Amino acid sequence: MFQDNPLLVQLKKKLHSKTPRVEGIIKSSEKGFGFLEVDSQNSYFIPPQNMKKVMHGDKVIALLKVEQNRDIVEPEKLIDPFLKKFVGKIKRKENQLFIVPDYPLFKYLIKCSKRSNLLHNFKHGDWAVAKLIQHKLKGDQFFFAELIDFITTEQDNLYPWLVTLSAYNLEKKAPLILQNQEIIFNKISLRKDLTHLDFITIDSIQTQDIDDAIYIEKTGTEELTIIVAIADPSSYIMHNSRLDCIARERSFTNYLPGLTIPMLPDELSENLCSLLPNSIRPAVLCQFNVSCSGTIIDDSISFFLGWIKSKAKLVYEEVSDWLEKLGTWKPFSQSISNQINLLHELCMIRTSWRKNNAVIFKEKPEYKFCFNENYSVVNILIENRRIANRMIEEAMIAANICAAKFLNKHLGYGIYNIHKGFIDLIHAEHAVSILSKFNIECNAKEIMTLSGFCAMHRKLDILSNSYLDMRIRKLQSFGEINICSYPHFSLGLEQYATWTSPIRKYSDIINHRLLKSIIQGEKSIKLENDILININDKKRKYRLAQRNIEDWLYSLYLNKNNCNTTQFSAEIIDVFKSGIRAKLLINGANVFIPAYLLHVVKEELFLDKENGLIYIKNIVIYKITDVIEVNLVDIKISNRNIIAKLITYN
């Protein structure tokens, strides 16, 4: 009888309006309950019954209540659903169609139906792209999704690649040339004929998209004269043409384990533009001199257009073996031997210059997946960068320094790679505080300058402390690209602009066009911020896609080889409240060690995320960069999560 009493209704509204509310992100658990993460310091428990209306990752407003002397929340209003457009795996139950989103901690079976114009007949196990169109917190009776695209079947050996690329909305194939008229070489009369010079290329044995060739000679003053020739796709791709728009949208060639998706059509990247041996090719060239001390002579820098003919396609491993007096391979002519030796000399003096005047970070091994014909991983090899790789790297770094100086001098803008060092004074002061504990005295304002930053890193190099290196690096900013020239602190350089990979990077094509405008005395193209936004977005997506595919391949490989009984050495790479992440040294796989598998007594364990330290009984037992011994206890292929446990500690 009190149900419709207006006074009671008014009282309920008043009480409801006074109930405190909090806004945050839903974090679900495997046990049904969850948390509302308000910020990095505050989170609230969500009981299982309150989790039924939300999904992991949803941004919501929730009612804050107290039950049994514990703060809990009840999700009330959806601000932003985590699931919008997503990929997932199809399940069929009793002739009904469901999709399971391909995200960690997502076990939901979401009812779905296919879009009317989608012809594929979905089967159990198929992979699809879907769009969430109903959400319980919006008042809908159940979650519901619409299938908008078919990806592949579960029998397809390439499903890890295809699913991941679909998840990040990335291209799966090389672009196609639709008409012969799309590729018309832009003849320029200003090209110099350098086909008589002994240009060489050094790449991996399988490389076909060859960007760069090098010629070196020594002058009477003991200076080295270097000519770096770079492939010229901008002579085939007109600004704002269809192919140019495709390259701009893709921004990069996407290098994935076992699969490469080119930025340009194969006919361009592996044929017409590639600096293949004994083939005459157009090129953009940079000539500069380097002193015997490794200094680039600024007055010697020039850019021009030309024709070249590479005299040899050399391979990193073979050149490295020859220089290190290993194996049986040797250059087929004295002129090629001379070029290799001069390039090696350039590498040595430039490395020495950069060590004394810039920054050189320690190299870490790379891991290479080896596949069979079914795209199944059969082995994972450790690849260390050898001398031939470093020779090409030093030549390209020098050429990029020249390009940055040339663009800045003649235009005042371009696509520059920049790195601002420490994010702000607070981070610099924090770094100084950390360094002082290792008897390295620095000044916060000084290390925010390029010279001070380089001096600090030279002190770090002498100390050679991996833990300290990691702590300082975490306080620094991320690299970015900018239209204006700024220093690149992590390289220790006043300015840096890449132009040496135009077959693989759209930003380098842009710099080619700017360089050409200077060379030919023409009006330069204008650079818009949306180009930078797209390049940065694609770079982020490619990196995430690569990591996701690697995690998938590691899970499949370790599961197939029954590695649960194997003992692995692993380097600690991160510390969280819930556990630690480590990298298996033998193959590079990332594993997670939950806190309860680090130490059995929960109260005795403390994980210091900020400082990267692991305490047991108030004693630091491990820190990031330490090597520990682990066993694998669970490999969850569905979410690419490899769980390990610490074997023991002393």
User: H-helix or E-strand containing 620?
Assistant: strand 619-623
Among 103, 215, 316, 367, which one carries the catalytic annotation?
Answer: 316
Among 58, 209, 321, 626, which one carries the catalytic annotation?
Answer: 209
Q: φ and ψ at 153, to 5 degrees?
A: -95, 165
Q: Are 471 and 612 in contact (CB under 8 A)?
A: yes
Among 102, 198, 203, 551, which one carries the catalytic annotation?
Answer: 203
CA angle (448 as vertex; 443, 451 as ends), nearest 5: 85
Which tokens is 73 given? Answer: 């929340």
Is 424 a catalytic site residue? Answer: no
Among 58, 126, 198, 211, which one carries the catalytic annotation?
Answer: 211
Cα–Cα distances in angstroms (integers) from residue 195 to residues 228, 268, 277, 325, 460, in the given order = 13, 20, 11, 31, 46
Distance in angstroms (rounded) separating the CA atoms of residues 214 and 398: 12
Comparing C-alpha atoms, which of 584, 593, 579 is closest to residue 646? 593
Is 80 a catalytic site residue? Answer: no
Is 58 a catalytic site residue? Answer: no
Comparing C-alpha atoms, which of 84, 60, 56, 91 is closest to residue 74? 60
Distance in angstroms (rounded) separating the CA atoms of residues 422 and 519: 37
Is 115 a catalytic site residue? Answer: no
Q: Are 101 and 132 in contact (CB under 8 A)?
A: no
DSSP of 512-578, one letter per residue?
HHHHHHHHHT-PPPP--HHHHHHHHHHHHHHHHHHHHHHHHHHHHHHHHTTGGG-EEEEEEEEE-SS
Is 543 a catalytic site residue? Answer: no
Among 212, 232, 508, 626, which one carries the catalytic annotation?
Answer: 212
Cα–Cα distances in angstroms (integers) from residue 190 to residues 237, 282, 396, 452, in the given order = 18, 11, 24, 44
Helix ranges, 221-270 (H):
242-250, 266-267
Distance in angstroms (rounded) separating the CA atoms of residues 602 and 591: 21
Is 504 a catalytic site residue? Answer: yes
SS3 of residue 95 by DSSP = coil
Among 504, 554, 557, 622, which one carries the catalytic annotation?
Answer: 504
Q: Is beta strand 70-80 parallel, antiparallel or unpaired with respect to 96-101?
A: unpaired
SS3 of residue 342 by DSSP = helix
Q: Are 194 and 213 in contact (CB under 8 A)?
A: no
**Which residues are known catalytic residues?**
203, 209, 211-212, 316, 504
